[in-house]
Every structure is written in C-alpha cells, then in structure tokens.
Amino acid sequence: MLIDSPELARQVIARFNAIAQPANAYVPTLTPPDATGKQTLVWRTEEGGKLVELKTEPMGDLMKGVKTELLTLLPLDDLL
C-alpha cells in the first residue's frame, strides 16, 4: 500500500520526533575501555532534565535475564 499524503507524513515525523526524545528512550552505549581494555554496556536516558546512565538493562527483570542467558547457550548461529 502506498499513501501519498504530505500532511500524514508531517504528522508521522512529528510523532516520531516526540517519541525519540532522550526522556522517552534508552540509548545503549559502550563505555570507553578501562585500564584492562574492558568496555561496559550502559543505557543512557534523561530523567527530570538530567542525563542518567544505567548499568543494568532498563525495564528488564530477573527471569528475562535468565532466559536470555540460557538462549545464548543454544547453537543457533547457523540458523541466523
């Protein structure tokens, strides 16, 4: 389906820009390497007008993490 509507396109862009604001999103980022060369995954967002860096996955829970870790043990690479 193709919709040719400049007004609809403007509304979609405005909605996306509102949703993608730092206060409404989490940006996964690798930290700079430490003294041992290890990088850490952090999630950055904005809360109360201040930038916040989270060291654990936002909106995650223990069971979700356990399931993810278990799935990494399966030999699925050939299926990707």
Q: What is the mean pLDDT of residues 32-48?
A: 93
d(CA 48, CA 6): 34
The domain spans of the chain are 6-73
Give pLDDT, residue 74: 83
The predicted structure's pLDDT at residue 24:
86
Per-residue pLDDT of 42-59, as tens digits, reads 999 998 889 999 998 887
* Whole-Å CA distances, 13 to 1, 17, 26, 30, 54: 19, 6, 19, 28, 28
- What pLDDT band is residue 16 in, cutting at 50, 70 and 90? very high
30 pLDDT exceeds 90? Answer: yes
pTM of the model: 0.55
